[in-house]
Amino acid sequence: MLSDVDAMALALQWAQKGLYSTSPNPRVGCVIVQNGQVIGAGVTQAAGQDHAEVQALKDAAARGNDVRGATVYVTLEPCDHQGRTKPCSQALIAAGVGRVVAAMQDPNPLVAGQGLARLEAAGISVTCGVLAAAAHELNIGFFSRMQRGLPWVRLKTAASLDGMTALHNGESQWITGPEARADGHAWRARACAVLTGIGTVKADDPQMTVRAVDTPRQPRRIVVDSRLDISVDARILEGGGTWIVAAVGNPEKEALLRAAGADIILLPNAAGKVDLPALMLELGRRQINELHVEAGAKLNASLIKEGCVDELLVYLAPALIGDAQSMFALPALDSLDQKYQLKFHEVTQIGDDLRILARCVPFKPAI
């Protein structure tokens, strides 16, 4: 017999299948169990398509299985509102299931317990809180946007063991190995958007696309460019859809960039630079759940100083390259009391390199 924990672990495996495809919706998995056997399973599809519960019900029907009285395990509370799709709570009630086990309540104010309440009111037994921490991690960006109005901001950098991202002459390819680079692309792929700065665009002319892993969609590309210095021939504009965030308007240049398929966002601060906290709010408003940052030392430092970073994704190579270009152009501190405090969340070896996930303190999971 499958325990609640075992069945929810299977549902989380199904949710993982939506890692690159469900945004701005959360990644949700669902399995339906009858007499200790999985009789249906599903994962939330792209926005506007079936949620995990409906997929699982359809899967059970396709297999010829009767779901009446069955137990449904879902990694997030079934929705109870009419959005792009019909409420999942009502689909489960109509199907006649006997019990629903959810990993977590949905933080969306349109749901927030109402889905579970609807099920209970229909006589369905409800349990909530099974493997909640794992479910939260899978949708950390969705929870951030729902609860703070902000994306979960993950700043990625790769460096030598002495903390250098490039030689003094700018050479940086490649400090880390192929496994670490492919892993970095997987983190790009799961994000809703990838952000960089004009300094990186000018120096490297990057595409900022996902190439090392298969993905059904490319994340949005965003460039912080205070004075609209970007060339209309920059590779990051290829394919259209790039957002350029500036502090100073330039109607002629804006027209050229829009003709190249870009969108211009003007967000100046008092110093004539891009207002980074305001940008994070704007990205939350635009339904960005996870923001992946790959930028230079100056923009990295600005984001950290402005309190815009939630997590550092750092790849460290087992090499020393001497005094050169560092990860963060942070100012010198006069006291250790002023240090930016982090907490190691995960340390993993990827090929020959180390991958470190370090979260900015304070960080309190919303579970």
Q: What is the pLDDT of residues 256-281, one digit of tens each?
A: 999 999 999 999 999 999 999 999 99
Structure tokens belonging to residue 67? 């779901």
Q: Is the pLDDT of residue 88 over 50?
A: yes
Structure tokens belonging to residue 137? 């991690």
Structure tokens belonging to residue 165? 């991202």
pLDDT at 362: 67
Ramachandran angles phi, psi of 225, nearest 5°: -145, 85
Contact 7, 99 (CB under 8 A): no
pLDDT at 181: 93
Contact 82, 53 (CB under 8 A): no
Per-residue pLDDT tens for 311-363? 999 999 999 988 878 888 888 888 888 888 899 999 999 999 999 999 998 64
Q: How far apart are CA 56 and CA 72, in angstroms?
A: 9
290 is catalytic: no
Reported for 244-251, long-range contacts at CB under 8 A and 24+ positions apart, including other chains, are 245/274, 245/279, 246/274, 247/272, 247/273, 247/274, 247/275, 248/272
Per-residue pLDDT tens for 130-186? 999 999 999 999 999 999 999 999 999 999 998 888 777 766 678 899 999 999 999
Per-residue pLDDT tens for 42-67? 999 888 888 999 999 999 999 999 99
Query: What's 98's DSSP letter?
Result: S
**Rg over CA atoms, the chain:** 23
Contact 35, 47 (CB under 8 A): no
Q: Where are the alpha helices (DSSP H) in 240-309?
A: 251-259, 276-285, 297-305
| Residue 273: half-sphere exposure toward Cβ, Cα within 13 Å | 12
Among the ranges given (46-55, 248-257, 297-306), the one the predictor scored with the smallest mean pLDDT: 46-55
| Residue 347: half-sphere exposure toward Cβ, Cα within 13 Å | 4
Among candidate residues 53, 77, 294, 311, the one labeled active-site is 53
**In terms of pLDDT, which residue wins out, 339 or 101?**
101
Structure tokens belonging to residue 316? 């460290």
Label residue 83 by pLDDT band (50, 70, 90): low
Per-residue pLDDT tens for 173-226? 788 999 999 999 999 999 999 999 999 999 899 999 999 888 989 999 999 999
Q: Is the pLDDT of residue 364 over 60?
A: no
Please compute the mean of the pLDDT values over residues 94-120 and round it to a whole number: 89
Q: How far apart are CA 133 and CA 309, in angstroms?
A: 21
Ramachandran angles phi, psi of 268, nearest 5°: -80, 150
Degrees, nearest 5: CA angle 141-365-31: 65
The neighbour count for residue 320, using CB atoms within 10 Å, is 10
Among the ranges given (109-118, 176-185, 291-300), the one the predictor scored with the smallest mean pLDDT: 109-118
